Amino acid sequence: MSTGIVRNLGVGRYLEWRAVNSRGASGGILVIWDNRVVELIGWEEGLFSISCRFKNCVDGIVWVFTGVYGPVCNRDREDLWEELGSIKGLWADPWCVGGDFNLVRYPEERSRGGGLTASMRRFSEVIEDLELRDFPLRGGAFTWRGGLNNQAQSRLDRFLVTDSWDSLFNGAVQGTLPRPVSDHFPVLLEGGGLKRGPSPFRFENMWLKEEGFKDKIKKWWGSLKFSGTSSYILDAKLRALKNILKMWNKEEFGLIETKKGDALRQIEFWDDKEKHAALNLEECEARNEARESYKSWVLREEISSRQKSRELWLKEGDNNTRYFHRMANAHGRRNWLSKLKVDGYWYSEENNLKNSVVGAFQKLYSEKEGWRPSIDGLSFSELGSSEAEGLEIPFSEEEVFAALSDLGKDKAPGPDGFTMAFWLFCWDVVKYEIMDFFRDFYDRGRFVKSLNATFLVLVPKKGDAEDLKDFRPISLVGSLYKLLAKVLANRIKKVMGKVISEPQNAFVEGRQILDAVLIANEAVDSRLKSNQGGVMCKLDIEKAYDHVCWNFLLAVLKKMGFGERWIKWIEWCISTVRFSVLINGTPSGFFQSSRGLRQGDPLSPYLFVIAMEVFSCLLRRAMSGGFLSGWTVRGQGGEGSLISHLLFADDTLVFCEESQDQMTHLSWLLMWFEACSGLRVNLEKSELIPVRRVIGIEVLALELGCKVGSLPSSYLGLPLGAPFKSEVVWNGVEERFRKRLAMWKRQYISKGGRLTLIRSTLSSMPIYFMSLFYLPRKVRLRLEKIQRDFLWGGGALEQRPHLVKWSLVCLERKKGGLGVRNLAWMNKALLGKWNWRFAIENGALWKQVISGKYGVEEGGWCTRVVNGRNGVGLWKAIRKEWLGMYSSLAFRVGSGRRVRFWKDIWCGDEPLCESFPSLFAISLAKDAWVSEVWNSDGEGEAWTPIFSRALNDWEIEMVERFMLKIQAYRVQRENEDNVVWTVSSSGVFSVKSLYSMLEPVGSALFPFGSIWRAKVPPKVAFFAWEASWGKILTLEQL
């Protein structure tokens, strides 16, 4: 590289540059800067990178930029990682790294997809160890295009920055530019801050820590006098209180930073004075007061930052304020809109962008005029009169307060600005007006419409979202309406099981999301093993909540037997909504809706499931008329069950034969459902998945109007039709682990905070998968390594000691551990829960399917042992856990028809065959049921065990003990036999109790109470735990 070549690029005389020369046609790096803006004060050159240390000419701030041209070969990449690690060790300044890494980080960063490779994992490890941040790319998902006919695409180029660099250039974003010549898109990194308009009022939860704050609220609240309906008075009081709080915060409470600084200066003043002379008692008290003041302002700052960051898992008082600031900045960047595509047109000018977004949502929530078919011909399950009346009873204070306590205190508020923490804190002050509001709503069925004003927040579905279609509208409803909706939701959820059919698993008590995934996988497994073809229709409902027709929904409620008062309440709640769209933190527009349900309204999930019951009803009608066939799920041991469809909210699977007529009938059904409800299936995102060899699958897909999919697929976020024990299906879990860690910066989180994070989030992330799938050992070891490195702060490039072995960390706190979940034990406990559910649940659809496929053992407490290959079925691994659970099960005898007299635990703490082995040996009916040994004929009732020979004299005493023991129990033929989980005092199974049973004993003498029950921040407790094990990094141990 020469000066002449650089100047030919067209830059001016203030140019300076450094370069790494190319090797052939690749490998060159050129860094150019304007010496009027920055001054070079140091530089380092490597094989694959060049690093320049700059000082800003204006403010003197020093920072580092590293340009990268990554090697193609894996063996050379370690040299690049070592170069970057050396720069981190050499300079501790804010740091930006950018260039062509010749490597992708995740499978979705290349067009061909695939699995998570070792090089990807290594790249993520290096980014984490170097404490760099990888933020989304705007302008497209890829930065390189090439290969045959330019079909291959990847994200090879990126900028990575440290948090300290991000703080200097607040609001930095990276995006692609046009590529006139190269096969790479140029990537532009822009910084300079995010401009925001005036933000709406938001109640600060830190105010609740102010001494005497409740007294102030009581005084202000009592001084506000308005007349009108109860809802109007509450609304008017809130508006007035909002203005009072704004003024108080400005004039008295003040800026946190200023108050904290004042307190710190007071402490420094007294400390300086003490260096020259001892402080008297009065001066010592003044310094202590300053210290307490400083502590209180630091705590308030942390509470405020935590509230804004939405990182609610971390505890207050653990000094994680810098972390909260970083996360708030990251959320701000992710949600910031500088340009947006709306209906195919790009908008970048602020007012045009806002108007286009508001217009799009106004159109989305507007009902189109026209005729809709009636649902009078459909029949639904109906509520009984007592159940319908139970929904309409007057509201009680206990009911309202319970609902308030269930709502998240730190959740983002709606237009009124008040968090639920405010209402909970001030409940004794405001409860009278709130209960008047509920009584008024009960009598009149309405409230002032201003309480139903709603903010629409655009939440990106993916990192590079630039089209309005890539954002999910989430509603922030007003706090009072949210409380009312929560009370109504708590009522309706109790009766959902009465009106919602078995194929629907969402928001119905006793039904779980995993039920549908288990059924779907077992159905696919049954088809594959029977060599019988078929198709699954995986349907995507477009803008599901947003398109629901109100009149249709109200008609369904009436058909289901809901009362007039209840329907009137629901109609007012959904029809009085007014929206404003929050764009870059500022509300825009104010418009009324005429259709749709709000995501964020506690009532919406239940109402949507009720609307989807019409689709389920239409499918049942089509089945009974012979227009659709469904699948029979059958195995070697069972009779089989017929499954036509599965629903979880808007996630839908329909099972059909490979028939063009069935596709035609399903297409007609979908059109009819759309005409009735307004809910349209997006056929572009829907799939027709063939199982086994299906002739003419493209013709079938064309008939339905969707694309052709393939197995393995996914359903409800879990694998569908994937091979048993396949490590590939866990790649997504590991990828999410690493992405989550990329968001969390461990250098800003104390060890106590990291432990909280691991226990609350990282350990929970694989739970969803582990609840249904066996966790392969190799995957478990990789996930545990990620957790270990995060907890102790070390990694591949930075070897920090892991002071306590992981097996000890995973023990309960009372046993000397940290309570981090052991993934292997948790996997076994979660799978074991299915066996318990099988034993106690009667009539559940998933149990019908499993029983029909595998058959049941005598007694019906479990299925038969599953033999043969695993395939894609899941029950074989689940059934294996029954053997480990059986010894901890006991039975409460009712009719006695499902409990073995000799072999089951029903009479005492062990089976009778173990308590009286010699009697069992001479028993004639060793497998007899309890009911068969109980004689209720004739004059009386008695136990009648039968033995193969006459009893000897020396056996009489034993027989007397035997009879005395069983005579304490009686058979009650009208009652059912029940199973009892002996590990817990309640007799009811829990995953926690089985996990504890699997866990080793640990240390009985460990002082866990003194450590974990003390009222100290988590980081202090963590240090005490390390000290208790003698694992502090003292000079002796280094």
277 falls within a domain: no
Same domain, 82 and 28: yes
Same domain, 535 and 675: yes
What's the Cα-to-Cα distance from 523 to each of 104, 391, 501, 614, 862, rounded to whole Å?
36, 38, 19, 24, 19
pLDDT of amino acid 314: 43
pLDDT of amino acid 321: 44
State the distance between the two ends of the chain, measured CA to CA, in whole angstroms.
47
pLDDT of amino acid 328: 45
Give the dihedral sign, CA 203/208/209/211. Answer: positive
Q: Residue 23 above 80 pLDDT? A: no
| Residue 905's pLDDT band (cuts 50, 70, 90) | very high
- Give the start-end residues of each E strand in 311-425: 340-342, 345-347
Q: Which of 188-202, 601-615, 718-732, 1013-1027 has the lowest mean pLDDT?
A: 188-202
| Residue 8's pLDDT band (cuts 50, 70, 90) | low
| Residue 412's pLDDT band (cuts 50, 70, 90) | confident
pLDDT of amino acid 1038: 52
Rounded distance between C-alpha atoms, residue 919 and residue 902, angstroms? 10
The residue that leads in pLDDT, 984 or 1004, is 984
| Residue 743's pLDDT band (cuts 50, 70, 90) | low
Give the dihedral sign, CA 22/135/716/709. Answer: negative
Same domain, 560 and 708: yes
Angle 427-444/397-406 helices, nearest 10 degrees?
A: 110
pLDDT of amino acid 192: 58
370 falls within a domain: no
Rounded distance between C-alpha atoms, residue 337 and residue 821, angstroms? 40
pLDDT of amino acid 322: 47
Cis peptide before 712 (omega within 30 of 0): yes
State the total domains in the chain. Answer: 4
| Residue 249's pLDDT band (cuts 50, 70, 90) | confident
Same domain, 848 and 963: no
The DSSP line for 225-257 is ---S-HHHHHHHHHHHHHHHHHHHIIIII--HH
Rounded distance between C-alpha atoms, residue 550 and residue 597, angstroms? 9
What's the Cα-to-Cα distance from 2 to each of 7, 8, 17, rounded to whole Å?
9, 10, 10
Same domain, 670 and 530: yes
Q: Which residues contact 890 (CB under 8 A, 6 or more apart)?
A: 904, 905, 906, 909, 979, 980, 982
Rounded distance between C-alpha atoms, residue 552 and residue 556, angstroms? 6
Q: What is the average per-residue pLDDT within 948-974? A: 87
Q: Which domain holds residue 939?
A: 912-978
pLDDT of amino acid 223: 92
CB 1016 within 8 A of CB 319: no
Q: Residue 152 above 50 pLDDT? A: yes
Report the DSSP beta bridge partners of residue 718.
715
84 falls within a domain: yes
The residue that leads in pLDDT, 277 or 38, is 38
The residue that leads in pLDDT, 1020 or 1004, is 1020
Q: What is the average per-residue pLDDT within 44-55? A: 91
Kindly give the pairing relationship between strand 453-460 and strand 471-477.
antiparallel
| Length of the chain measured in residues | 1038
CB 404 within 8 A of CB 431: no
Same domain, 759 and 662: no
What angle is formed at CA 178 by the lines to CA 176 and CA 184, rounded to 5 degrees? 70
CB 234 within 8 A of CB 432: no
Q: Residue 335 above 70 pLDDT? A: no
What's the Cα-to-Cα distance from 332 to each of 325, 586, 626, 639, 741, rounded to whole Å?
11, 12, 54, 57, 18
Alpha-carbon torsion angle 775, 778, 779, 784, nearest 10: 110
Q: Residue 111 above 50 pLDDT? A: yes
Q: Residue 319 above 80 pLDDT? A: no
The DSSP line for 970-1007 is ---TTS--EEEETTSTTS---HHHHHHHHS----TT--
Same domain, 949 and 917: yes
Same domain, 937 and 969: yes
682 falls within a domain: yes
Q: Which of 205-219, 437-451, 900-914 has the lowest mean pLDDT?
A: 205-219
Same domain, 603 and 629: yes
Cis peptide before 460 (omega within 30 of 0): no
The residue that leads in pLDDT, 802 or 923, is 923
Which DSSP helix (H) or strand (E) runs through 655? strand 651-656
Q: Residue 355 above 70 pLDDT? A: yes
Closest by CA position to 419, among listed 340, 503, 547, 303: 303
Rounded distance between C-alpha atoms, residue 2 and residue 19, angstroms? 9
Alpha-carbon torsion angle 573, 402, 607, 484, nearest 10: 0
Q: Residue 988 above 80 pLDDT? A: yes
- Give the start-end residues of each E strand in 526-606: 534-542, 578-583, 586-592
454 falls within a domain: no
Q: Which residues contact 1015 (CB under 8 A, 6 or more apart)?
A: none
The residue that leads in pLDDT, 183 or 655, is 655
Q: Residue 931 above 50 pLDDT? A: yes
166 falls within a domain: yes
Q: Where are the alpha helices (DSSP H) in 493-561?
A: 496-499, 513-529, 550-559
Rounded distance between C-alpha atoms, residue 974 and residue 955, angstroms? 35
pLDDT of amino acid 463: 67
Rounded distance between C-alpha atoms, residue 807 and residue 303, angstroms? 34
Q: Which of 384-393, 406-415, 462-471, 476-485 has the lowest mean pLDDT?
A: 462-471
pLDDT of amino acid 334: 53
CATH code (residue 68): 3.60.10.10
Same domain, 149 and 15: yes
Q: Residue 22 above 70 pLDDT? A: yes
Q: Which residues contact 450 (CB under 8 A, 6 or more apart)?
A: 235, 578
Q: What is the DSSP letter of 23?
A: B
Rounded distance between C-alpha atoms, residue 918 and residue 926, angstroms? 12
Kindly give the pairing relationship between strand 942-943 and strand 934-935.
antiparallel
Q: Residue 1 above 70 pLDDT? A: no
Q: What is the average per-residue pLDDT within 680-696? A: 91
What's the Cα-to-Cα distance from 1037 to each of 304, 509, 846, 1032, 1033, rounded to whole Å?
40, 55, 56, 8, 6
Q: Residue 768 above 80 pLDDT? A: yes
pLDDT of amino acid 323: 45
With tokens 């908008």, the residue in question is 347
Last residue of a domain, one of 675, 690, 721: 721
Same domain, 809 and 684: no
The Cβ of residue 168 has, within 10 Å, a number of other Cβ atoms equal to 17
- pLDDT per residue over 187-207, tens digit each? 998 875 545 556 678 887 777
CB 133 within 8 A of CB 103: no
Distance of CA 665 to the CA centre of its chain: 37
Quick one: tokens of 415? 């237009």
Same domain, 926 and 1031: no
What's the Cα-to-Cα distance from 137 to each of 345, 657, 711, 902, rounded to whole Å?
20, 43, 31, 68
Q: Which of 416-425, 795-804, 938-947 has the lowest mean pLDDT?
A: 795-804
Query: What is the 3 state secondary structure string of 265-277?
Result: HHHHHHHHHHHHC
Rounded distance between C-alpha atoms, residue 384 and residue 391, angstroms? 11
CB 489 within 8 A of CB 602: yes
Rounded distance between C-alpha atoms, residue 527 and residue 401, angstroms? 51
Give the dihedral sign, CA 550/556/557/563. Answer: positive
Closest by CA position to 492, among listed 385, 607, 384, 382: 607
Task: Round the average pLDDT of the chain to a whole number and report it.
Answer: 85
The Cβ of residue 940 has, within 10 Å, a number of other Cβ atoms equal to 7
Kindly give the pairing relationship between strand 137-138 and strand 173-176.
parallel
Q: What is the average per-residue pLDDT within 856-870? A: 84
811 falls within a domain: yes
CB 782 within 8 A of CB 734: yes
- Give the start-end residues of each E strand in 857-997: 889-892, 934-935, 942-943, 978-981
174 falls within a domain: yes
Rounded distance between C-alpha atoms, residue 540 and residue 1002, angstroms? 50
Q: Which residues contact 248 (CB under 8 A, 6 or more apart)?
A: 216
Q: Residue 308 above 60 pLDDT? A: no
* Exposure string for 870-880, b = 16+ CB within 10 A, e = fewer: ebbbbbbbbbb
Query: What are the CB-based long-range contacts (under 8 Å, 24+) for 84-89?
Result: 84/49, 84/126, 84/130, 85/129, 85/130, 85/797, 85/798, 86/44, 86/46, 87/44, 87/49, 87/51, 88/130, 88/131
Q: Residue 1008 above 80 pLDDT? A: no
Give the whole-number percent of the chain exceeding pLDDT 70: 89
